[in-house]
Amino acid sequence: MRAKLSYAVTAAVLVFYFVLAGSRGVLLIRHGTLLTVTFGVAVLILPVIGVWFLWQNTQFVRRANALAAELDAEGGLPVDELVRTPSGRIDRASADAVFTRRREETEDSPDDWRCWFRLAVAYQDARDTPRARKAMQRAIALHANKPVRA
């Protein structure tokens, strides 16, 4: 719940920034000189890119959460079997051991979105966020029966 609240607050702040920057871009364009119109268009590009990026990330999170809910309903969510340090951090060797099992599971069933979902969780536990994201994107694509990029 805390992550959802944090995401919502961050998204709201970004939307506020996009509106503020966009209004400044429009004011520059309305000024009407070549220089201000050029700057105004340049200022408007950043909010457009930001809105696109925020939308893509929001869709990714929604789809990943939907997969998690479906997997939970099936009783297939990965069990937290990781060893933790006294401070609560995940032990690296434990994360690597779980990751190895998840990778082998995924290699045995490369077209199963559930395996890719669990692999994404293992990547995240091993602190490899870029690969976790790619694995989750693959799980989402397999679940939706979309072509998977290699």
Q: Which residue is listed with tokens 């990781």?
A: 82
> CB-hemisphere CA count at 13 Å for 142?
18
Residue 139 pLDDT greater than 60, yes or no: yes
3-state secondary structure of 38: helix
**Residue pair 19/51 in contact by the 8 Å Cβ criterion:** no
- 10 Å CB burial of residue 142 (0-12, 13-18, 19+) is buried
The amino acid at 88: G
Residue of 39 and 4 predicted with greater confidence: 39
pTM (two decimals): 0.79
Radius of gyration of the chain (CA): 21
The residue type of 20 is L
Residue 75, pLDDT > 80, answer yes
Cα–Cα–Cα angle for 133, 65, 108, nearest 5°? 55
Rounded mean pLDDT of the chain? 90
Q: What is the per-residue pLDDT for 119?
A: 94
| pLDDT tens for each residue of 77-107 | 888 878 888 888 888 888 888 888 999 999 9
pLDDT band at 120, cuts 50/70/90?
very high
**Per-residue pLDDT for 76 more than 70?**
yes
Cα–Cα distance, 98 to 121 (Å, whole number): 10
